Structure 1
């Protein structure tokens, strides 16, 4: 346990997590996009410890890296878990018609208390699910598995060696032992030199991409025009004013990096949503008089009109996907219980020793305590807006929906927190008719539980593959959540003080989605003529989900659009989507080059291609995202100090 849970891993994880928290707050307020950044956390953690490895009394090990990235992820994802990029800005947008007294603006103290209230119960929800989903069923949790592979790759050649768990026959183990015996010191020295050279290439790529993105971010402050290039106006010689419809290009390296992380299929789905929403539906709504206001107006403009269509797509895909995952999981559990015997028990992967697991009494006491803490702090912050009994019901609903979210995450790598929040809003509309503010708070509680549970389950999958102690990860998650309750509140307060939220720099589209959904389920009418489009697109994407589920073995199903990505492309302006698509193309081309499916003579013998390979593009993407996320804070300080710019 002591070798897994070390003070140095926790402190470095917190440092990285604070950076990720500010970065996620920045991107979340802009587009609603939040990333776990577990791969990036493990990479940064290793980069920090690598130069000091020869001087350390005990080496920085893979299991320490697991704890480090667990702490970092818990700290970095609080902007979404506590609703700083959705629920809290939505409460600030309330009008007198929505809620007596209008907008609800929390003070710093209230934000910290709210964050503490929703920060822990999702963690305790996840602990009992570990044995069933990870040990018995061995669900994939693709991001957690990828992080384990990244950590193994980073620490390859370090002592003590750790490998990702996999079944091997006795003959394979004998062959590996013979290969180890045949090794010579000369060969080992050569291998060590090559590994050091490979690491230096990775570090060089990370520093270069981080510096490039940081420089661009600083330049956007002094020369804002470079962040809005009207390339479509140039292409048509200004015969059509595309920029008036938000069609321009922002060459943001961070959003290119996001596109690299998302991959080409996801970004192409976003592009499809962007074209349909901003290229077809938006002009149509304006010229027919259905949305006569300014394009960027959430209430009367086409931006707000197409948001309803994207909301229909999100709800349709989220609800149906959760139903399918639930039915499939129950069927698997039934078959498993019907056929379970001693042979199957012997084949199951063994768990870590009991002393490395979270004790049952800690889970039970923690679940009760965190539930009571949530109910109490919600009452302190919001008073009678959400009655105590209904706050307790909200935690119960969050627990049920979190179980579904964890299973969906394990099967598909998608944590449907947005859909879960919407389901909770529908449920509470019947319990608190007309209570729009209470509806938002209850939905925020459900989203927090699903987010925290999902994050920990991905991390526990990583730890299981590398032999880390679940107890160490559990404590790391708790520490990260505790610290981030304060850090995230500080970050949001800074952005709210310096910038107008929502405003040109930070439109906070997710807040508008939350508010519109709350108004809808509480009886407020839809904008003119949008209902038929909402219904039509909801049916279309429900059909796509069914086809993807039942015809997944057919290759052509991979070309069908992803509903959530399509919806994001609709409610995000085209500039963000176009940059992400560029990133998706880059990762596709680079992977093709590395796999020799796309020939590039000038990169054929490149050390980056040969030695670093496909992981290089992830490293570059990490530098792009972290560079803008970090230096956005510098821009904010300059904005607060009124540093002159053009």
Structure 2
């Protein structure tokens, strides 16, 4: 009890800008130089954790397209890994240097940078949208030149593209780090939460740490063994526990069933309750009501003899209505956060002198010490300028070789505007915790597709989308991690180098993780497990940018207008009446995902949210301590089983049993 109260006290102090525990006071006196905060064992741990999370994130990318924020989970896993490693060495009589919060922060930063490439690198969206299967699903040659060409995924060009696109973002906002973190004191909620957790790990005592480690290992083992056990019953497609007709065969046909995936249950435990409930609501609206009703109009609204995957048939309604929801929600949030950003910056500039006087009076010695440590090891402006220019030039030269449709002058224009877009996004994320990089990418996609024209617009739009999204996203993630470093007394130089190492690892690991799935499984099959819904969505957006509304099936435009308006109205209600009914309103962005994917994963994630809700009601203190550990164990265990199962699939070793269900 006392330990938990100490953690809560420290968390509250940290949020108020104070964390003056005796251990941290002493740590300030013995802080290591930044070169010693990055260790060989830390880099090795980062490669292992980042690779594991890349495999997990890739699975989520290629199945549902929803990946939770795993920063806290990565910090926990780093702590578990390093504590277990050092204790094992001590048992053999080998002495090691102490495992500090700075090293923990470095491993977390490097791991997150690595798996972020798998999340935001476009493997489930704009890059996969270039392959032949997605090209055929969205119309292919039947649409003439406006459908563009296709480019099959290969490790070589994908790795080169990622190195060119992602490293530019590391240098975009370095000169503004003091403004964003020290002067404006932006909270970056995810970065702060990670810092609270890391500081808690290193101050809460061995008993609580042991409980978290034991909980993680227990559920990691359960999840891994369960994944191994399920494999024996998946001899053919649509076999095994993942296709168990939990609510009956008729519900199963409409994707309403529990798929026994502990990965999704763990993901549901991490995601907020409103996200999981919004997914379920979207599933009921689409697969429970709309698709059965639209299917009755087959032969009237769309030809009855179309293949199931045709975008001119039912699949077109699924894709474009999902796009309408996602765009409506994204446009509203983009406008809202841009307004908040501009209003906040205007207020700061208007009251600049007064703000400085009041701010100086309110700062504690501890605040000043934090800022002094953050600013002591400066990152020269020339490093940012040279890095941005050099990698920008390499991208201008290299990307047109990979994608001849995207001319060099479009890349130059993109990189001229990218720093200002990155600043707006990072500022908004610092206030609201929303990383809107995907919306900036979608704007670039539409503009480039329309500008380049019918012949090459689709491919140019998809490739250009990735350039803007990567710069804006990587810059935002770096600022978020610098906030974590600011609160854990970690050197900014160490953070930048950690982020660079993680990004480099991710640019290599992410394509390898993707190809593991791409070669072993039927990625992009709309009726299979790895549907990759966002690949179809992004390519359809590019086609929409080139062709306009002529790409839509009959009556689809009216439905899109309705759901676009619905998304905006829902957000208005959430903002205007937040306490009365706003908190009960669904999230349109989350609602749109099941429209294409199905309902099964939403049911699994809602089971996760039910577990957390019940746990918090019965034992709130234990739940606060153990939920991140249990959820991480469930996600990592089954996620790790993907690696041997993929190797078995590549070796043509099939499971011996097919468990399926038939009507009596």
**TM, length-normalised to structure 1:** 0.86
Residue by residue over 1:461-514, the C-alpha shift from the partner in whole angstroms, topping out at 9 and shown as x without a partner, is: 211111111111111111111122111121222222222221213111010110
Number of residue pairs matched? 586
How far did 1:526 drift? 0.7
The partner residue of 1:331 within 326, 339, 343 is 343
Asked if 2 retains the 8 angstrom alpha-carbon contact of 1:145 and 1:465, the reply is yes
1:467 aligns to 2:489 (yes or no):
yes
Quote the residue 1:85 is aligned against.
Answer: 124
Distance 1:386 1:208, change over 3 A: same
Counterpart-to-counterpart distance in 2, 1:294 and 1:525: 16
The partner residue of 2:106 within 67, 70, 76 is 67
Counterpart-to-counterpart distance in 2, 1:467 and 1:83: 33
Distance 1:593 1:359, change over 3 A: farther
How far did 1:230 drift? 0.9
Counterpart-to-counterpart distance in 1, 2:183 and 2:306: 55
Quote the residue 1:7 is aligned against.
Answer: 40
Counterpart-to-counterpart distance in 2, 1:421 and 1:206: 36
Asked if 2 retains the 8 angstrom alpha-carbon contact of 1:352 and 1:469, the reply is no
Quote the residue 1:590 is aligned against.
Answer: 615
Counterpart-to-counterpart distance in 1, 2:613 and 2:121: 34
| Residues 96-115 of structure 1 mapped to structure 2, 5 A cutoff | 96=141, 97=144, 102-115=149-162
Asked if 2 retains the 8 angstrom alpha-carbon contact of 1:298 and 1:305, the reply is no
**What SS does structure 1 have at the residue aligned with 2:173?**
helix
The partner residue of 2:544 within 494, 503, 520 is 520
1:438 aligns to 2:460 (yes or no):
yes
How far did 1:303 drift? 4.1
Quote the residue 2:499 is aligned against.
Answer: 477
Quote the residue 1:176 is aligned against.
Answer: none
How far did 1:613 drift? 4.0
1:31 aligns to 2:41 (yes or no):
no
**What SS does structure 1 have at the residue aligned with 2:268?**
helix
Quote the residue 1:496 is aligned against.
Answer: 518
The partner residue of 2:387 within 363, 366, 373 is 366
Quote the residue 1:600 is aligned against.
Answer: none
How far did 1:592 drift? 2.1
Counterpart-to-counterpart distance in 2, 1:385 and 1:110: 15
Residue by residue over 1:64-114, the C-alpha shift from the partner in whole angstroms, topping out at 9 and shown as x without a partner, is: 111110100111111233211211210002334356883211432111111
The partner residue of 1:559 within 584, 589, 594 is 584
| Residues 106-125 of structure 1 mapped to structure 2, 5 A cutoff | 106-125=153-172
Quote the residue 1:531 is aligned against.
Answer: 557
| Residues 294-305 of structure 1 mapped to structure 2, 5 A cutoff | 297=309, 299-305=311-317
How far did 1:522 drift? 0.7
**What SS does structure 2 have at the residue aligned with 1:534?**
helix
Quote the residue 1:178 is aligned against.
Answer: none
Asked if 1 retains the 8 angstrom alpha-carbon contact of 2:128 and 2:153, the reply is no
Structure 2: tracts of 5 or more residues without a match: 1-33, 235-239, 658-664
Quote the residue 1:343 is aligned against.
Answer: 357
| Residues 385-396 of structure 1 mapped to structure 2, 5 A cutoff | 385-396=405-416
Counterpart-to-counterpart distance in 2, 1:372 and 1:582: 49
Counterpart-to-counterpart distance in 2, 1:586 and 1:395: 46
Distance 1:199 1:295, change over 3 A: farther
Residue by residue over 1:328-379, the C-alpha shift from the partner in whole angstroms, topping out at 9 and shown as x without a partner, is: 2211112212222241341465424444232211111111112112222212
Counterpart-to-counterpart distance in 1, 2:277 and 2:537: 22
Quote the residue 2:402 is aligned against.
Answer: 381
How far did 1:532 drift? 1.0
Counterpart-to-counterpart distance in 1, 2:428 and 2:314: 33
Distance 1:334 1:257, change over 3 A: same
Asked if 1 retains the 8 angstrom alpha-carbon contact of 2:148 and 2:458, the reply is no
Counterpart-to-counterpart distance in 2, 1:479 and 1:98: 41
Residue by residue over 1:382-419, the C-alpha shift from the partner in whole angstroms, topping out at 9 and shown as x without a partner, is: 2x211010122233444343333323322332222332
How far did 1:300 drift? 4.7
1:506 aligns to 2:530 (yes or no):
yes
Distance 1:104 1:267, change over 3 A: same
1:457 aligns to 2:479 (yes or no):
yes
How far did 1:519 drift? 0.7
Residue by residue over 1:216-239, the C-alpha shift from the partner in whole angstroms, topping out at 9 and shown as x without a partner, is: 222332213211111221xxxx5x
How far did 1:381 drift? 1.4
Counterpart-to-counterpart distance in 2, 1:90 and 1:465: 40
How far did 1:516 drift? 0.7
Counterpart-to-counterpart distance in 2, 1:70 and 1:441: 27
Counterpart-to-counterpart distance in 2, 1:366 and 1:10: 22
The partner residue of 1:201 within 211, 236, 240 is 211
Residue by residue over 1:6-59, the C-alpha shift from the partner in whole angstroms, topping out at 9 and shown as x without a partner, is: 232222112211111121112211111234422122111111221416654431
Asked if 1 retains the 8 angstrom alpha-carbon contact of 2:68 and 2:271, the reply is no
Quote the residue 1:425 is aligned against.
Answer: 445
How far did 1:299 drift? 2.2
Asked if 1 retains the 8 angstrom alpha-carbon contact of 2:576 and 2:582, the reply is no
Distance 1:128 1:273, change over 3 A: farther
Quote the residue 2:23 is aligned against.
Answer: none
Greater mean deviation of Cα atoms: 268-277 or 498-507: 498-507
Residue by residue over 1:233-272, the C-alpha shift from the partner in whole angstroms, topping out at 9 and shown as x without a partner, is: 1xxxx5xx22222222201110011111112111111111
| Residues 379-418 of structure 1 mapped to structure 2, 5 A cutoff | 379-382=400-403, 384-418=404-438
Residue by residue over 1:103-139, the C-alpha shift from the partner in whole angstroms, topping out at 9 and shown as x without a partner, is: 2114321111111111211222232343233222222
1:142 aligns to 2:163 (yes or no):
no
Distance 1:134 1:628, change over 3 A: same
Greater mean deviation of Cα atoms: 286-295 or 500-509: 286-295
Quote the residue 2:377 is aligned against.
Answer: 356
How far did 1:301 drift? 4.8
Residue by residue over 1:523-574, the C-alpha shift from the partner in whole angstroms, topping out at 9 and shown as x without a partner, is: 152122111111111112212223333444x343111111211112323311
The partner residue of 2:224 within 214, 237, 241 is 214
Greater mean deviation of Cα atoms: 491-500 or 14-23: 491-500
**What SS does structure 1 have at the residue aligned with 2:37?**
coil
Counterpart-to-counterpart distance in 2, 1:286 and 1:486: 44
Distance 1:557 1:258, change over 3 A: same
Quote the residue 2:77 is aligned against.
Answer: 44
Counterpart-to-counterpart distance in 2, 1:86 and 1:399: 23
Distance 1:339 1:405, change over 3 A: closer
Quote the residue 2:12 is aligned against.
Answer: none
Counterpart-to-counterpart distance in 1, 2:199 and 2:336: 34
Counterpart-to-counterpart distance in 2, 1:125 and 1:293: 52
Structure 1: tracts of 5 or more residues without a match: 158-194, 596-608
